[in-house]
Amino acid sequence: MRSIWNGAISFGLVSIPIKLVNATESHAISFRQIHTEDNGRIRYRKVCELEDREVAQAEIGKGYEDADGTIIPITDEDLSHLPIPTARTIEIVAFVPADRIDPLQMDAVYYLATGSAPAAKPYVLLREALNRSNKVAVAKYALRGRERLGMLRVVGDAIVMHGLLWPDEVRAPEGVAPDASVTIRDKELDLADALMETLGEVDLEDLHDEYREALEEVITAKASGEAPPEAPAPADGGKVLDLMAALENSVRAARKSRGETPSGGAAEVRPLPRRTAPRATAARKSTSTAKKTATTKKPEPARKSTSRTAEGAKRSTGSTSTAKKTAAKATAGTARSTGTGKAAGTTGTTGTAKAAKTSKTSKTAGKKTASRKQTA
């Protein structure tokens, strides 16, 4: 890399000979101006106004134009006698935390390379001091006819200097921000946070100039006599006026592009099923029936064991007197039965067992009806 400036870093009483090297390069494709009729080059020639002739670079110097149009010539010798110490020196004036530097002031960036072998030790000393302090150095230097502000920091094993704009060169953002009366809801902020989290981070090494690549394809096609590639049709997303809808669509699209499953998205809203009429219920044990009546929950649908049980349940819910009669008949049937209550509950019982089961159902249904009336 070719150096563009030679000088020294002034670090207190320590002087470090260095060379200034451009740290960046442009890969932009440049065009020439041509005459559209015959593709001839359009060139700019440096012409002296007084003599009306083209002059060579060696004949060109510097001059300052006064307010009345008078030209005051300034030579390189005049500039070499400027009464500032930064003419050939990067003078460090302070060490500050990196967050004290406003990114708006950032300008061009340069690598600082050692100018000679003896400069290696003080160079490494400054580099390690910056590393251990977690600070950056603020410096002043002169380049291309003006004094500038710079920031020195460590990148890898090298010291880098960022050119900084002077504070008065940064404009205040007056009239740029929108009206302060705009209100943002918490839900909108939550969706914005979700979008930021979904997009996540990116490796800057994976980013590249797609415009330059497309331009190279056009130039290659034109050079080979082929038709240039056509631009893809833009996605017709429509005009979104709802900020919430735009945020939700953005989060959904970001998750889809990252290959996430739909389960990671927002909850799906489904309609509730319609309610149906309650079926006839069969009573269980007296303790569970009392608990359900106390909590005023709706009875669960019961399975139909026999047609007699269902009919007994319907009669019991119809009136209390009918339930009592059914219970009396069931009791009489139970008294005439030869089996016990335990045998009546088994699957191998006769019609007496069925009557006993109907009795239990009627009694429990009657109690439930009475409890409902008391609750009402």
Residue-level pLDDT at 179: 77
Residue-level pLDDT at 255: 77
Residue-level pLDDT at 369: 45
Summarize pLDDT for 95-153 with one digit per residue, the tens. Answer: 999 999 999 999 899 999 998 888 999 999 999 999 999 999 999 998 877 889 999 99
Residue-level pLDDT at 227: 85
Residue-level pLDDT at 367: 47
Q: Is the pTM of this model over 0.85?
A: no
Residue-level pLDDT at 63: 94
Residue-level pLDDT at 85: 62
Q: For the chain, list residues with pLDDT below 70.
A: 83-87, 234-241, 261-376
Scanning the chain, the segments in alpha helix (DSSP H) are: 76-80, 120-133, 186-199, 210-223, 243-257, 286-294, 307-318, 320-336, 341-344, 351-375
Torsion sign over Cα 350, 352, 355, 361: negative
Those residues whose C-beta lies under 8 Å from the C-beta of residue 79, and which sit 6 or more positions away, are 145
Reduced to 3 states, what is the DSSP secondary structure of residue 62?
A: strand
| Under 8 Å between Cβ of 117 and 124 | no
Cα(119)–Cα(225) distance, rounded to whole angstroms?
Answer: 56
Scanning 20-152, the segments in alpha helix (DSSP H) are: 76-80, 120-133
Give the count of beta carbons closer than 10 Å to the beta carbon of residue 323: 25
